[in-house]
Amino acid sequence: MSENECRLCNMLDKYASGEEEMKIVYESEHTLARYQTGSHKFAEVHIMILTKKHIPSLFDMTENDDEIILDVAKAIKVASEEVFALKGGCKLEMYTGKFPTFTALNHFHCHVIYDSSVD
């Protein structure tokens, strides 16, 4: 899959051009953390964190991506603090490999969520 075919890269392009609005929790040169809305929201509170550079998966990161990895960790911390402040708890989810629902998203990302229906 090329960057042009990546749904998350296309979403980032639309955000950068002002074509798509997002409720941003954290943004830097390397990372974006945003609230998920609509049909993509799968929890009561749902923040998606993704790299601005197209990196297919955690396994595709290299030593050249160390700054990005640290920035993702910072975004996870900020998003987790926000969800924790709202709900008193949070969960981090990251998918790598073949999961039926997520295989179409060949772009490194993770989710900080809270859902009272799930223990």
Predicted structure pTM score? 0.86
Helical H segments across 3-118, by residue range: 7-16, 66-87
Q: Look at residue 35 and tell me if it is in a domain.
A: yes
Range of the domain at 15: 3-114
What pLDDT, in 10s, does the model give residues 5-58? 888 999 999 999 999 999 999 999 999 999 988 766 677 899 999 999 999 888
Q: Write the CATH number for 103.
A: 3.30.428.10
- pLDDT recorded at residue 47: 95
Predicted confidence (pLDDT) at residue 102 exceeds the cutoff of 80:
no
- pLDDT recorded at residue 69: 94
| Lowest mean per-residue pLDDT among 14-23, 77-86, 101-110 | 101-110
Q: Look at residue 56 and tell me if it is in a domain.
A: yes
Q: Look at residue 22 and tell me if it is in a domain.
A: yes
**Torsion angle of the four alpha carbons 66, 1, 77, 69, in this order, in degrees rounded to the nearest 10:** 0
Q: Look at residue 119 and tell me if it is in a domain.
A: no
Q: Look at residue 34 and tell me if it is in a domain.
A: yes
Total domains in the fold of the chain: 1
Mean pLDDT of 103-113: 84
Cβ atoms within 10 Å, residue 117: 6
Angle at 72 between CA 64 and CA 108, to 5 degrees: 75
Q: Look at residue 84 and tell me if it is in a domain.
A: yes
